[in-house]
Amino acid sequence: MPMNLPTRSDATMTQPVDDPTAERLAAALRCATVSADDPHRLDTTAFDRLDAHLRQSFPLVHAELELRRFGPSRLYRWPGTEPTGVAAILLAHQDVVPVDDPQRWTHPPFAGVVDDEYIWGRGAIDDKSRVLAALEAVESALADGLRPRRTIYLAFGHDEEVFGGDGAVPMAEHLRQAGVYADLLLDEGGVITADVIEGVRQPVATIMLGEKGYATVRLSVTDTGGHSSMPGTQTAIGRIARAVHRIQTHPMPLRLTPVIADMLHRLRTVMHGPRGHLLGLARIAPSLITRVMATQPQTAALVRTTTAPTVIRGGVRANVLPAQAEALVNFRILPGDSVAAVLRHCRKVVRDPQVRFDVVGTATEPSTVTAPGPAFDLVADLARAVVPGIAVTTGLVPGATDSRHYADLALTRCNFAPVVLDERDLASIHGTDERLSRVNYARLITFNRRLIEYFATTGTPQTSGADS
């Protein structure tokens, strides 16, 4: 439902970034740092060019912070002036997903075009703007003589889009070995959406506190094959089709997890009309709420482990019985469920001993979900300062981010960036015509800068007493 933003939170409250700042991001977008499933096929020269660009653009960062490389991944340590503990681990990733339809882009995806309003290119939102914004903020803080009281780490992976095995995993292990435990772990995930949530007039910041798990289950059937003139009652393909149908029509149960209950509770105060009334029932009638949420794909993903049959194959010729058939079903696992529970569920609903079930590829359990504590309040306050007039809520990352590898290394984990995105912007992430407005980029930099200023003046996040 389209609606206008109230003028009080007008987007012009933050000044857009100037040309040199926009150009530094654009130059990073010109490095086609596409992650590769096979690490041997990674284009390391693109990462080398990005490395050179970052060193040249942020000389103070590279003179004063300790940088440790894990392949193309970068782990910076900014020592605090006090010897006690770690304030924050700020995550972002340098890699991007490939582009399969470059001719549909307004500007070539790796051209790094800057115009009056936007910085265009693959990675403009996801996630190079967050890498560069953090470095811009640290560089300017160093120039102004600011130092954090407690140590800050910046960790920029190079394979987030392919599960982080060579980047985030060893960087997190390094921090674990060093005994790091931070107040705040900050990564990509939630943003500020405008005109996306029906019934809410103001932009909504979704500061996500954890993420769903991930598993792909392969269903396979092996048969003797033979001539298709005497097929018996069911071929391997028929058996697989039945199994997929059973799984599709018997999803895992609906459940209102504490973080989603909290999210709804916070939205209730800003949601108008019947939906607002409905949210008032979240605590007394959770099953009613989950049933309503299950009717839309975006909200259904918040209240259950989702089931998506994505691949099916089998058979070679029209007149030959298939000896093999298989299907892949992708699950995004709600906290409280597990990879093993997904597998058990598949066996139970298919109830066919001839169908084999295997978890294939990378599987991850759902993350632990931290309660919104003082570090959450800090992030929320900074978001409100950067984009006045927003509502703030919590949430759960529906996909997977590098932060799951660091989850045990911080008291509070927040997946959030203070950029205001509409439906079109959201669709451009991993899609066509990815771009970030100069105003949004300025918000990202200002947010990082204020976070650093906070850590330069205050040791530990305090409860703000804000209406969070």
Kindly tell me which of 398 and 459 has the beta carbon lying closer to Zn ion: 398
Tell which one of 95, 127, 166, 187 touches Zn ion (CB under 5 A).
Answer: 127
Per-residue binding letters, 181-200, with Zn ion (x by CB under 5 A): -------x------------
Residue type, 404: R
Q: What is the DSSP letter of 160?
A: G
Kindly tell me which of 126 and 223 has the beta carbon lying closer to Zn ion: 126
Kindly tell me which of 127 and 337 has the beta carbon lying closer to Zn ion: 127
Q: Near Zn ion by CB under 5 A, which window of 9-17, 123-131, 239-247, 363-371?
A: 123-131
Tell which one of 126, 183, 223, 262 touches Zn ion (CB under 5 A).
Answer: 126
Kindly tell me which of 14 and 403 has the beta carbon lying closer to Zn ion: 403
- How would you write 279-327 as a 3-class SS string? HCCCCCCHHHHHHHHCCCHHHHHHHCCEEEEEEEEECCCCCEECCEEEE
Local structure of 444: helix, strand or coil: helix
Cβ atoms of residues 159 and 95 within 8 Å: yes
Q: How far is the CB of 123 from Zn ion (least distance, A)?
A: 9
433 binds Zn ion (CB under 5 A): no
Which are the contacts of 57, defined by CB distance < 8 A and separation ≥ 6? 24, 27, 135, 139
Kindly tell me which of 124 and 390 has the beta carbon lying closer to Zn ion: 124
DSSP-assigned beta bridge partners for residue 118: 437
Kindly tell me which of 183 and 187 has the beta carbon lying closer to Zn ion: 187
Q: Near Zn ion by CB under 5 A, which window of 46-54, 119-127, 221-229, 355-363?
A: 119-127
- Count of residues of this chain found to bind Zn ion when the rule CB under 5 A is applied: 3
**Interatomic CA distance for residues 158 and 163, integer angstroms:** 10
Q: How far is the CB of 100 from Zn ion (least distance, A)?
A: 17
Local structure of 273: helix, strand or coil: helix
**Identified catalytic residue from 160, 161, 183, 223:** 160
**Identified catalytic residue from 95, 127, 166, 223:** 95
Other Cβ atoms less than 10 A from the Cβ of 391: the count is: 20
Q: Near Zn ion by CB under 5 A, which window of 98-106, 120-128, 142-150, 420-428?
A: 120-128
**Interatomic CA distance for residues 36 and 252, integer angstroms:** 32
Q: How far is the CB of 191 from Zn ion (least distance, A)?
A: 11
| Phi-psi map region of 298: left, alpha, beta (phi>0 left; psi -120 to 50 alpha) | alpha
Q: Near Zn ion by CB under 5 A, which window of 96-104, 127-135, 339-347, 383-391?
A: 127-135
b/e sequence 311-348, b meaning 16+ C-beta within 10 Å: eeebbeeeeebbbbbbbbbebbbbbebbbebbbebbee
Q: How far is the CB of 219 from Zn ion (least distance, A)?
A: 30
Tokens standing for residue 200: 């809410």
Q: How far is the CB of 145 from Zn ion (least distance, A)?
A: 33
Q: How far is the CB of 216 from Zn ion (least distance, A)?
A: 20
Residue type, 431: G
Q: Near Zn ion by CB under 5 A, which window of 126-134, 138-146, 346-354, 458-466?
A: 126-134
Q: How far is the CB of 115 from Zn ion (least distance, A)?
A: 24
CA dihedral 99, 100, 103, 108 (to 10 degrees): 10
Residue 95 appears among annotated catalytic residues: yes
Kindly tell me which of 127 and 211 has the beta carbon lying closer to Zn ion: 127
Residues taking part in catalysis: 95, 160
Residue ranges that bind Zn ion, judged by CB under 5 A: 126-127, 188
